[in-house]
Chain A
Amino acid sequence: MDITGRLERFFSQRRIFFFAVVIALLAALPAFGFSRYIMRICIVISIYSMLTLALNLVAGYTGQLSMGNGGFYAIGAYTATLLMINAGLSFWSSLVVAAAFAGISGFLLGLPTLRLKGSYLTIVTLGFGEIVRMILMNWDTVTNGTLGVRNIPLPSLFGVSLSFTNHGLYYLALVLTALVSVFCALVINSKVGRAFIAIREDEIAAQMMGIKTVRYKVLAFVLSATISGIAGAFYAPMVGYIDPNSFTFDISSQIISMAILGGLGTMRGMYFGAAALIVFPEVSRFLMDYRFVIYGLILVLMMRFRPQGLLGWRTRLPYRFGKVLERQLAAEGSLPPLL
């Protein structure tokens, strides 16, 4: 039996045990006395886990590849920051408003553009991400333009400031990621999630079955944007400084790479992808110049040899090419021509 098959069996047989171990380990992590540097990497991984989970709702389950999630992330970060600094709101209320605001912008983007299909949609979302950045750069009076916003206060709970030193930031990241994960799992396993998957599998068939496809696609976008917004709202106080260049196209592209490496349409793949691609550049600093080349190679090789992602076993997903899909392609003749 091949290695992936064995791994697959191992993990699916001991799922609950495995969950428990991971959760216990993560909760106990600060007790091991890691350096702040390593704890920081863990926090960054959790932020990107939220971002990839968000992308996963749209790209993995609903089948709409978004390249603009960096834009929602930016909106979340800026909304929360400006509320905390200018309106003096607490982190918690800013977080809620930022998430809502990102969700609304996801709705606004989603409404008109989700009538588009495939590649067109992808490009519009990319354009959206760039426009968000342009607005942040040029709307000086509100966003402070290219200078960015500095001295963003740390979140505090019952008067205790959550920092790196007291591991408050780490636990906050952990709790947020856990909440987002539970939320995603609930959505995916609900009626809504099944509608998402139906749209991904065959949009026309879904429509025939009475699923209001546009409505569900917009909903997927809103949920994805909201979660990205939460990640952004947490990121800003964590680094303490944001500027438009923190939210370039590279972020969106990185999120996609992570999700694809791990396996779109699976949740475990998201954590794995985020962790792998955050840790990889950290340990390979000696490769310096070739780092980004390898990044690109990962995408190309994954698509060629394991498009369902490294952990993409038993996914009910588009990136696994069963007989059904092949038959369907053959029947359609030239329609998706060759590719």
Chain B
Amino acid sequence: MKRGVFVLALVLAAFLAVGCGGGQSQASSVPVKIAVALPMTGDNAEYGKSFLTAAEIMVEKWNKAGGVLGKQIELVIYDDKNSAEEAASIAQKIVSDKDIIGVLGHFSSGVSMTAAPTYQENKVIEISNCASHPGYSKIGNYIFRNNTVISAEFNVIVDVVANDLKLNKVGIIAIKTDWGNTAGGIAADLVKANPKLTLVAHEEVLETSDDHGPAIAKLKAAGAEAVIAVGMYSLYGPLARQYKEVDPKIQLLGVSNAYTQQIIQLGGDAVEGLFAPVSFFAQSDDPEVKAFVDEFKKRFGMEPSALAAQAYDSIGILLEAIKSAGSLEREKVRDAVNSISYPGITGPTNFDSIGDADKKFQKVRIQGGKFIQYKG
């Protein structure tokens, strides 16, 4: 029996030790902490890692210049594997660390929306550089979106098809995910609403499959002249190759996701002529953009995507807001974010009352194996 009591005491002591560990962390010279909650393993790890690289570049830039409010800035990294369950538990972990003022994340809309209520409730500012679901930013006034609003992107795309290319029959091919579903639906509505365009087919494909033959066959049979492809980078290469094989003349258009070097690597000749609206153009002459692109290339081995650039700006916005608020008080920083006018590398950014960023678009097209700016 003695031994039993001893074990019991040990177990109790261990529990208590763990329990107390969580509570005390209010030291004076703590750094300003920003959480990065993104997929670092799993299928979307490349996105997460590239956003993290961008965020690190911005933080180092600030730290070199003396930090913010005289304190150094520290990124706390969490891997949510792009899973809602993981994200919910990470959100709990983040809000229980009182030094964390804001979060960059999460990756997909569904995951962001699972975690967002926890941040809202605990007044932690969440800025997502990639959530696109319309409902995301409506969750609360601490929830911000520094990403293009998908309907604005499609407005540009529809305009290109109708007025620049003067094509009429439009097909849509969308991936079967929460994002692809919503975005594809929005695209379809906009095409239908445009008197110059006819929507001839709307196909869905699985993200896990690289064989788009059946969907292409249907789009072609419906007589599509232009196809709006709604997917991640991985959709465009195989889609373009398979489509060009059955219809070399087809005009493909992508969303801003398509603007990455990977699709040129994966698509080769087949993605020539592909259009995409972007908020960020890496080949731009702007010195600020150049400096970021060079540094990013050095660390990550490839050009930054628009989403990575938005991650860079998101951290910048948060730090700038802390600086202008002059304190780490949650309410003040939040107000500062909301009223900010930030001259970022993804164009001048300010947030509307819901928390959505208002972005300007440039049109880019692939020509000669690289993206070039397209002017109407």
User: Which A residues form the contact surface with B (CB < 8 A)?
Assistant: 10, 14, 17-18, 21, 25, 29, 32-38, 40-41, 44, 137, 145-148, 150, 164, 239-243, 245-246, 282, 285, 288-289, 291-292
Given the known interface contacts A239-B84, A246-B85, A285-B78, the answer about A35 and B92 at a Cβ–Cβ threshold of 8 Å is: yes
Interface members, chain B 1-26 (any A CB < 8 Å): 1, 3-4, 8, 11-12, 15-16, 18-19, 22-23
Interface membership of B60, Cβ < 8 A: no
A239-B182 in contact (CB<8A): no
A241-B84 in contact (CB<8A): yes
Which residues of A sit under 8 angstroms from B180, Cβ to Cβ?
146
Stretch at the interface among B109-117, B234-242, B354-362: B109-117
Main secondary structure of the interface of A (DSSP, over half): helix
B19: which of A33, A137, A148 is its contact (CB, 8 Å)? A33
A37-B93 in contact (CB<8A): yes
Q: Return the 3 tightest CB-CB contacts between A and B, nearest first.
A: A37-B92, A35-B96, A35-B22
Interface membership of B181, Cβ < 8 A: yes
A241-B114 in contact (CB<8A): yes
Which residues of A sit under 8 angstroms from B79, Cβ to Cβ?
285, 288
Kindly state the separation between the CA atoms of A35 and B96 in the bound complex, as whole angstroms.
7
Which residues of B sit under 8 angstroms from A21, Cβ to Cβ?
4, 8, 11
B114-A239 in contact (CB<8A): yes
Which residues of B sit under 8 angstroms from A288, Cβ to Cβ?
40-41, 79
Interface membership of B330, Cβ < 8 A: no
A240-B114 in contact (CB<8A): yes
Interface membership of B89, Cβ < 8 A: yes
Kindly state the separation between the CA atoms of A44 and B11 in the bound complex, as whole angstroms.
21
B85-A239 in contact (CB<8A): yes
Q: How far is the CB of B207 from chain A (nearest CB, A)?
A: 10
B177-A146 in contact (CB<8A): yes
B92-A241 in contact (CB<8A): no
Kindly state the separation between the CA atoms of A291 and B41 in the bound complex, as whole angstroms.
9
A37-B113 in contact (CB<8A): no
B181-A33 in contact (CB<8A): no
Q: How far is the CB of B84 from chain A (nearest CB, A)?
A: 6
Which residues of B sit under 8 angstroms from A137, Cβ to Cβ?
176
Kindly state the separation between the CA atoms of A241 and B182 in the bound complex, as whole angstroms.
17
Which residues of B sit under 8 angstroms from A239, Cβ to Cβ?
84-85, 88, 114
B178: which of A41, A44, A147, A289 is its contact (CB, 8 Å)? A147
- Known contacts A37-B93, A239-B84, A285-B79; 10 additional CB pairs below 8 A are A35-B92, A36-B92, A44-B85, A137-B176, A146-B177, A147-B182, A148-B110, A164-B92, A243-B84, A291-B41
Which residues of B sit under 8 angstroms from A292, Cβ to Cβ?
41
B92: which of A10, A14, A18, A40 is its contact (CB, 8 Å)? A40
Which residues of B sit under 8 angstroms from A40, Cβ to Cβ?
88-89, 92
A41-B89 in contact (CB<8A): yes
Of the listed residues B1, B3, B41, the one surrounded by the most CB atoms of chain A closer than 10 A to its CB is B41
Residue of B nearest to A242 (CB): B84
Given the known interface contacts A32-B19, A137-B176, A285-B79, the answer about A37 and B96 at a Cβ–Cβ threshold of 8 Å is: yes
Q: How many positions in chain B have a CB within 8 Å of any CB in the partner chain?
A: 36
Q: How far is the CB of B22 from chain A (nearest CB, A)?
A: 4
Which residues of A sit under 8 angstroms from B12, Cβ to Cβ?
25
Q: Can you give 30 A-B contacts (C-beta < 8 A)?
A: A21-B8, A25-B11, A32-B15, A32-B16, A32-B19, A33-B23, A34-B19, A35-B22, A35-B92, A37-B96, A38-B18, A38-B19, A38-B22, A40-B88, A40-B89, A40-B92, A44-B89, A146-B177, A146-B178, A146-B180, A148-B178, A239-B84, A240-B88, A242-B84, A243-B84, A243-B110, A246-B83, A288-B79, A289-B40, A292-B41
A34-B181 in contact (CB<8A): no
Which residues of B sit under 8 angstroms from A164, Cβ to Cβ?
92
Which residues of B sit under 8 angstroms from A150, Cβ to Cβ?
113, 135
Which residues of A sit under 8 angstroms from B182, Cβ to Cβ?
147
Which residues of B sit under 8 angstroms from A246, Cβ to Cβ?
83-85
Q: How far is the CB of B362 from chain A (nearest CB, A)?
A: 30
Which residues of B sit under 8 angstroms from A29, Cβ to Cβ?
15
Residue of B nearest to A239 (CB): B88
Of the listed residues A29, A146, A243, the one surrounded by the most CB atoms of chain B closer than 10 A to its CB is A146
Q: How far is the CB of A169 from chain B (nearest CB, A)?
A: 12
Q: How far is the CB of A135 from chain B (nearest CB, A)?
A: 13
Kindly state the separation between the CA atoms of A147 and B85 in the bound complex, as whole angstroms.
15
Kindly state the separation between the CA atoms of A13 and B83 in the bound complex, as whole angstroms.
43
Interface members, chain B 40-93 (any A CB < 8 Å): 40-41, 78-79, 83-85, 88-89, 92-93
Q: How far is the CB of B15 from chain A (nearest CB, A)?
A: 6
Of the listed residues A10, A32, A147, A242, the one surrounded by the most CB atoms of chain B closer than 10 A to its CB is A147
B89-A37 in contact (CB<8A): yes
Which residues of A sit under 8 angstroms from B110, Cβ to Cβ?
147-148, 241, 243, 245
A145-B89 in contact (CB<8A): no
Kindly state the separation between the CA atoms of A282 and B88 in the bound complex, as whole angstroms.
13
Q: How far is the CB of A78 from chain B (nearest CB, A)?
A: 14
Q: How far is the CB of A129 from chain B (nearest CB, A)?
A: 15
Kindly state the separation between the CA atoms of A243 and B177 in the bound complex, as whole angstroms.
10
B177-A17 in contact (CB<8A): no
Kindly state the separation between the CA atoms of A32 and B135 in the bound complex, as whole angstroms.
37
What 0/1 readout, one digit per residue, does chain B (151-186) give for beta carbons within 8 Å of chain A?
A: 000000000000000000000000011101110000
Kindly state the separation between the CA atoms of A36 and B95 in the bound complex, as whole angstroms.
9
Kindly state the separation between the CA atoms of A289 and B114 in the bound complex, as whole angstroms.
24
Given the known interface contacts A150-B113, A240-B114, A246-B85, the answer about A145 and B181 at a Cβ–Cβ threshold of 8 Å is: yes
Kindly state the separation between the CA atoms of A40 and B115 in the bound complex, as whole angstroms.
14
A146-B176 in contact (CB<8A): yes
Which residues of B sit under 8 angstroms from A145, Cβ to Cβ?
181
Kindly state the separation between the CA atoms of A44 and B83 in the bound complex, as whole angstroms.
14
Which residues of A sit under 8 angstroms from B92, Cβ to Cβ?
35-37, 40, 164
Which residues of B sit under 8 angstroms from A44, Cβ to Cβ?
85, 89
Kindly state the separation between the CA atoms of A150 and B109 in the bound complex, as whole angstroms.
12
Kindly state the separation between the CA atoms of A242 and B111 in the bound complex, as whole angstroms.
10
Kindly state the separation between the CA atoms of A35 and B78 in the bound complex, as whole angstroms.
17
Which residues of A sit under 8 angstroms from B18, Cβ to Cβ?
34, 38
Which residues of B sit under 8 angstroms from A285, Cβ to Cβ?
78-79
Residue of A nearest to B115 (CB): A241
Which residues of B sit under 8 angstroms from A289, Cβ to Cβ?
40-41
Kindly state the separation between the CA atoms of A35 and B95 in the bound complex, as whole angstroms.
10
B181-A147 in contact (CB<8A): yes
A14-B4 in contact (CB<8A): yes
Residue of A nearest to B122 (CB): A36
What 0/1 readout, one digit per residue, does chain B (132-156) give for beta carbons within 8 Å of chain A?
A: 0001000000000000000000000
